[in-house]
Chain A
Amino acid sequence: MDRQNHDGSLSTEDHELLTGLALEAFDSPEERERAEKLVSSNEQAAQWLRGYRETLARLDRATAMEPPADLREKIFAELPEQASPAPISLSERREQKRRSMPRYGWLAAAAAAVVLAAVPSAIAVNQHQRAITAESENNELLSVLDGQQVKVVNAQMPDGNGAMTLLASSKGTVVLGHDLPAMDQEHDYQLWTIAAGGTPVPSDVVPHGDWSAQLPALPEGTTIALTVEPAGGSQAPTTDPVMALVG
Chain B
Amino acid sequence: MNRADTGQSNTGSGDILNTMDRAPSGTGTRAEVNPGSTEYWSGLCQRVAQGDHQAFDSLYTELSPVVYGISVRLIRNTAQASEVTQEVMLEIWNNAQQYSQSAGSIYAWASTIARRRAIDRIRSEEARTAREDRNFTVDREVAQIDDELMAQVDSEQVRDCLATLTVKEKQTVIDTYYGGSTYAQVAERRQMPLATVKSRIRSALQRLKTCLEVA
Contacts and interface: CB of A to CB of B under 8 A. Distances in A.
Nearest to B67: A67
A171 to B, nearest CB: 5
A62 B155 contact: yes
B80 interface: no
A138 interface: yes
Contacts of A56: 108, 111, 115, 177, 205
A65 B68 contact: yes
Contacts of B3: 204-207
B176 to A, nearest CB: 5
Contacts of B198: 16, 19-20
Interface in A26-66: 26-27, 50-66
Q: How large is the interface on A (under 10, 10 to 19, 20 to 34, 35 or more residues)?
A: 35 or more
A53 B108 contact: yes
Contact of B6 (A55, A207, A222): A207
A238 interface: no
B184 interface: yes
B136 to A, nearest CB: 15
Contacts of B5: 138, 211-214
B193 interface: no
Interface string B129-157: 00000000000000000000100111100
B53 A52 contact: no
B156 to A, nearest CB: 9
Contact of A65 (B25, B53, B72, B89): B72
B82 A57 contact: no
A202 B51 contact: no
A83 B13 CA distance: 31
Contacts of A23: 115, 176-177, 201, 205
A205 B4 contact: yes
Contact of B68 (A64, A191, A203, A215): A64
B32 interface: no
Contact of B52 (A50, A191, A214, A219): A219
A204 B183 contact: no
B201 A25 contact: yes
Given A24-B180, A145-B17, A216-B25, A61 B7 contact: no
10 contacts: A20-B201, A55-B212, A61-B155, A72-B64, A144-B14, A201-B25, A204-B4, A210-B7, A216-B19, A217-B54
